[in-house]
Structure 1
Amino acid sequence: MAKASTHYDFIVIGAGAAGCLTAGRLVRDHGARVLLVEAGARDRNPLIHMPAGFVKLLTNRDYMTFHRSAEHAHLDGRQPSIPQGKVLGGGSSVNAMVYIRGQARDYDDWVSITGDESLNYRRLLPHFIRLEGNSTFNNAAHGINGPLKVSDGANLSDVSRAFVLAAQQTGLRFNADFNSGTQMGAGFYQTTTYRGRRCSGVDAFLAPVMGDPRLEIRTGTTVTRIVIEGNVARGIEVQSGSQREQIFGGQVILTAGALVTPKLLMLSGIGAAGELARLDIPVKADLPGVGENLQDHHEVPVVAFCKGRYGYFNQDRGWNQIRNGLQYLAFHNGPVASNAVEAGAFFNPDDASGAPSIQVFCLPTVYLDPDVTSTRATYGFTLNSCVMRPKSRGRVSLPTADPAATPIVYPNYLHHPDDLRLSIAGMRRAARIMRAGPLESMVEQIVLPDERALSDASVESDEALAEHCRRTVKTVYHPAGTARMGRDNDPMAVLHSDMTVRGIEGLRVFDTSSWPTIISGNTVATTYAVADRGVSRMMGETMPEEARKRDIESADPLLTYAT
């Protein structure tokens, strides 16, 4: 096996949101020599940069890895797919771009689990602020000068506008900003876009240093294991085509995502000793929490057909496609500038005044997935109900010691009865919204699930909706928690709260694997903030003064909730 002649200060594994930020910051702010390794290709496909293009990328195996889960007996034997981005930028290049930070209580949970007060929302807020370049809000809750561009959607469909009005008719207040005090209510999502163009981790953090000789990016390169000598991580083994190579560096940082990071840890001898021995992998650190604690947001659809030509059906065909393409090129708006998930709502079916437990995504299209539904393509829309703080826990494991083998993913959706109960409650609220305000005049028929079950509170109806959930539940592409932080006396903790791997020197995890629990909402904003915290802790940085000042001066209830 060849050995690289170049020695790097840092080796970053995985060029998703966390990896792009980590590599970019280390080069730009610390002058470090960094190798960033990505299994996928460069982000040259124009569809990546057009917000609406992600819909066509989610099924493209050139840019996605399809992690098939094990059979779920409680889901009638289904094996829900969990696709993840495999391209420079990772999920930040193929996601729906929704910018949500979660709730203060999410981060309070992290403090309770780790004992580290620096993980509360007030202490993480400066990281959110310094990264954010918001073109709409300029207040204590938001940053305006950061590299990650955040803006209002460049196009709002008739369905999205009607949804927000209809949701208010059901008792939800209008919320102009889901990130500045409370999530509760209905409104329009902000997105990681600027002038109708996606702002990925590549755009925000790699582009400014792309020409710097201290940064080397290797795409199309798969890491097969971390090289560990004694209890010290020295480098990595990689494969590109038929070529295998060992590369060495001062620190190794895992940012490969919550499905691949535990795989690489286990292949490198870090995991449950018994499981590693079964696969004949020499044990470097007996950490039984590796691969456990898998959490993922899951959603179930409520689908309606429309009486008229509402939504985005047929907008990518014929004359519509030509017109919309020209509009986008000329003005950076129109349907091509839509992220499809333009509007949404947060609510709590158990306590109208409590913290939200359900997130609804409004899609101005009929949801089509041959693995999930049998609906036809026509004018209509979908309201997806998502449980934000699921109690079900899954796992990631290795079938063999072969690095080329796909890990076995068992997300365990709906295993906890509260997750099923909340999913049903979310669907019922979605149906109420469909039959309220301006949406009522648009809807011809609710076709999925059975409308009678949605309006009837009987035991039979509950079971009918439960069966719909089991048949249609799917990922929201947010896996987390599989190499989590924890207290030093926590036997299932993989990381210390500074994100270093327990028992191994020179190895850190900065991606969503590190999260003790999943946050309430889309995950990319927190992915950036947590990785930024990781870099700051590793490099001994202090809180940026502007962010500190804005934080202290804020009187916003969310910002002062966790102290």
Structure 2
Amino acid sequence: MAQDYDFIIIGAGSAGCVLANRLGENPSVRILVLEAGPMDRSLYMLRMPAALAVPLESDRYNWFYHSEPEPHLDGRRVYYPRGRVVGGSSSINGMVYLRGNPLDYERWAAMKGLGSWSYGHCLPYFKKMETSALGPSAYRGADGPIRVTIPDCANPLFQAFLQAGQQAGYALTEDVNGYRQEGFYRMERSTFGGVRSSAARRYLHPARERGNIDLKIKIRVSRLLFDGKRANGVEFFENGRKRKARGGEIILSAGAINSPQILKLSGVGPREELRALEIPVIADIPGVGENLQDHLDFLVQYRCTQPVSLYPATSRRLQYLGGRELLPQPRGRRVSQPAASFRAGRDQL
């Protein structure tokens, strides 16, 4: 017998966790959250900032996607990590805290029907979500769930990078999420007290204490259920058994890859593609699953001419110490910077 909910949220990632928290503020509603991955219990792999590269190297908490051979990349496959755990990619990303460029939001707002997506409309929500180390201002919030910190960057390597930016003619930006984004800056991060501030820890878990949210993990959603063209339920597999749940509103927040996949399996997408797969067409929407755009990522290695390498902080022992203690290097030794120490750039915000 299907259970009835006011809201069914598919995906306990960054969006799903926030939605569950905000919608659950009304004690009269019942919410079901369905997550494909396990609970975010690992203290080492998921909460410790210094271990950020570890969940990216396996499929334990990661969908571990790889593209088909890319014809314009000499047939190579592109690795595409996506969180498969409560908290989604916010539980495995590089913890870089960076808003989109204001002009991007203005470009959205210029499109038909998107007038409320301007930077001015979005800014109050940016401020609402954060407690910035810079304190309250016209651009920054001071009482939100996400604690935003800024590293001291005391290591000489950081100072060398900042100085090189100025020598190249760029300005230093004191607040990259404030008035001026362009420039070189100390990267803000979604950590506090040496612990990752994932959407699960800051939004979903506190919301579950209210008692009106049911969270199911290790769930595979097979399709949405429709009454005509209105979605009113979800079909999913739990412990190998097919189940159904009905809801007043169905929210699909399963990520950039899994959301269109579920839509297509449900009959929402390009008509010809669905018919070729013998999927009954609910709505012919050619754009579903198309035009995915993301930033490129590549790793850069340098050799240090001074004994100031960050290499020792990537050892397992120092990861447990939070990377605060660095092993001494013999004076004048040239040390190669490993790729692992640069993997913070693999963030998926």
TM-score, normalised via structure 1 length: 0.57
Q: Which one of the candidate residues 24, 27, 40 is aligned to 1:27? A: 24
Shift of 1:303: 2.5
Relative to structure 1, the CA distance from residue 108 to residue 316 in structure 2 (aligned partners, 3 Å threshold; closer, same or farther) is closer
State how far apart, in whole Å, the 2-side matches of 1:50 and 1:156 are: 21
Which one-letter code corresponds to 1:233 in the other structure? Answer: A
Pick the aligned partner of 1:325 from 301, 315, 320.
320
Q: Is the 8 A contact 1:305 1:366 kept in 2?
A: no
Give the Cα–Cα distance (whole angstroms) in 1 for the partners of residues 88 and 337 of structure 2: 25
Give secondary structure in 2 for the equivalent of 1:152. Answer: coil
The residue type paired with residue 38 of structure 1 is: E
What do the CA deviations read for 1:329-365 (whole angstroms, capped 9, x no partner)? xxxx7269xxxxxxxxxxxxxxxxxxxxxxxxxxx94
Q: Give distance in 1, aligned partners of 2:10 and 2:154.
A: 37
Match of 1:256 among 249, 254, 257: 254
Secondary structure of the equivalent of 2:63?
strand
Structure 2 distance, partners of 1:251, 1:283, is: 21
> Conserved in 1, the CA contact under 8 Å of 2:313 and 2:324?
no
Distance 1:317 1:147, change over 3 A: closer
**What corresponds to 1:125 in structure 2?**
123
Q: Distance in 1 between matches of 2:300 and 2:196?
A: 28
The 1:286/1:112 distance shift into structure 2, 3 A limit, reads same
Do residues 273 (structure 1) and 271 (structure 2) align?
yes
Q: Closer, same or farther in 2 for the Cα pair 1:383/1:205, shift >3 Å?
A: closer
Q: 1:536-547 to 2 correspondence within 5 Å? A: none
CA distance in 2, matches of 1:26, 1:286: 30
Q: CA deviation at 1:185?
A: 1.1
Q: Secondary structure at the match of 1:122?
A: helix
Q: Contact 2:134–2:140 at 8 Å: present in 1 too?
A: no
CA distance in 1, matches of 2:311, 2:88: 28
Alignment partners' CA distance in 2, 1:18 and 1:60: 23
- Alpha-carbon displacement from aligned partner over 1:231-250 (angstroms, at most 9, x marks no partner): 11111011123111011111
Q: Does structure 2 conserve the Cα–Cα contact (< 8 Å) formed by 1:296 and 1:477?
A: no
How far apart, CA to CA, are the structure 1 residues paired with 2:313 and 2:270? 51
Give, in whole Å, the separation in 2 of the partners of 1:272 and 1:30. Answer: 39
Q: 2: CA distance between counterparts of 1:301 and 1:206?
A: 33
Match of 2:50 among 49, 52, 64: 52
Q: Residue 234 of structure 1 is aligned with which of 228, 232, 235? A: 232
Assess if the C-alpha contact under 8 Å between 2:153 and 2:159 holds in 1: no
1:367 maps to 2:339: yes
* 1:109, distance to aligned residue in structure 2 (A): 1.5
String of CA shifts for 1:243-293, please: whole Å, max 9, x gaps. 110111110001100000000000000001111000000000000000111
Partner of 1:36: 33
Q: Which residue of 2 aligns with 1:284?
A: 282
For 1:45 and 1:154, locate their aligned partners in 2 and report how far apart those are by CA, in whole Å: 27
**Quick check: 2:133–2:148 contact (8 Å CA) kept in 1?**
yes
**Alpha-carbon distance in structure 2 between the residues aligned to 1:237 and 1:156:** 52
- Partner in structure 1 of residue 164 of structure 2: 166
Quote the offset at 1:313 in angstroms: 1.4
Q: Report Cα offsets for 1:362-381 as digits up to 9, x if no partner.
A: xx94326xxxxxxxxxxxx7
> Does 1:334 find its partner at 2:324?
yes
Secondary structure of residue in 1 paired with 2:25: helix
- Give the distance between the partners of 1:136 and 1:29, measured in 2 at CA: 32
Give the RMSD, CA atoms, in angstroms.
2.3
**After the TM superposition, which of the residue ranges 283-292 and 174-183 deviates more from structure 2?**
174-183
Alignment match of 1:88 (pick from 62, 77, 86)? 86
How far apart are the structure 2 equivalents of 1:477 and 1:158?
Answer: 24
CA contact (8 A) 1:155 1:335 kept: no
Give the direction of change, closer, same or farther, for the CA distance of 1:382–1:231 in structure 2 (3 Å limit): closer
Deviation at 1:31, TM superposition (A): 4.2
- For the 8 Å contact 1:15–1:36, the answer to whether it is kept is yes
Residue 65 of structure 1 aligns to a residue whose secondary structure is coil
Could you say which residue in structure 1 is the equivalent of 2:4?
Answer: 7
In 2, distance between residues paired with 1:78 and 1:21? 36
Shift of 1:70: 1.6
Query: In 2, distance between residues paired with 1:335 and 1:28?
Result: 42
Q: Secondary structure at the match of 1:174?
A: coil
**Structure 1 position 382, deviation (Å):** 5.8
CA distance in 1, matches of 2:289, 2:343: 32
- 1:18 and 2:8 are equivalent in the alignment: no
SS at match of 1:216: strand
1:314 Cα deviation from its structure 2 partner: 3.1
Which digits, 9 at most, give the CA deviation of each residue in 1:20-55, with x for residues without a partner? 000111112564211111000101001211111211
Distance 1:250 1:115, change over 3 A: closer
Work out the CA distance in 2 between the residues paired with 1:199 and 1:286: 39
Alignment of 1:384-533 (within 5 A): 476=346, 478=348, 524=349
Give the C-alpha shift of residue 156 in structure 1: 5.1
Letter in 1 for 2:320: G
Q: Comparing 23-32 with 49-58, which one deviates more in the overlay? A: 23-32
Deviation string for 1:454-496 (max 9, x for gaps)? Answer: xxxxxxxxxxxxxxxxxxxxxx564xxxxxxxxxxxxxxxxxx
CA-to-aligned-CA distance 1:116-155 (integer Å, 9 cap, x gap):
3211000111111111111323211011011111111376
Contact 2:27 2:212 in 1 (8 A): no
Match of 1:102 in 2: 100
Conservation of the 8 A alpha-carbon contact between 2:145 and 2:202: yes
Q: Helix, strand or coil for the counterpart of 1:294?
A: coil
Judge conservation of contact 1:155–1:334 (CA < 8 Å) in 2.
no
Unaligned runs of 5+ in 2: 327-335
Contact 2:94 2:343 in 1 (8 A): no
Q: Deviations over 1:284-310 (max 9, x none)?
A: 000000011110110334422223433
* Deviation for aligned residue 1:316: 4.3
Count the aligned residue pairs: 339
1:105 Cα offset (Å): 1.1
2:7 touches 2:248 (CA, 8 Å); kept in 1?
Answer: yes
Alpha-carbon distance between aligned partners in 1 of 2:152 and 2:33, rounded to the nearest angstrom: 32
- 1-structure distance, mates of 2:107, 2:224: 31
Aligned partner of 1:554 in structure 2 is none
Query: Is contact 1:276–1:282 with CA below 8 Å preserved after alignment?
Result: yes
The answer on 1:311 being equivalent to 2:283 is no
Which sections of structure 1, spanning at least 5 residues, go unmatched? 337-363, 369-380, 387-475, 479-523, 525-563
| Structure 2 SS opposite 1:32 | coil
- Provide the residue aligned with 2:186 in structure 1: 188
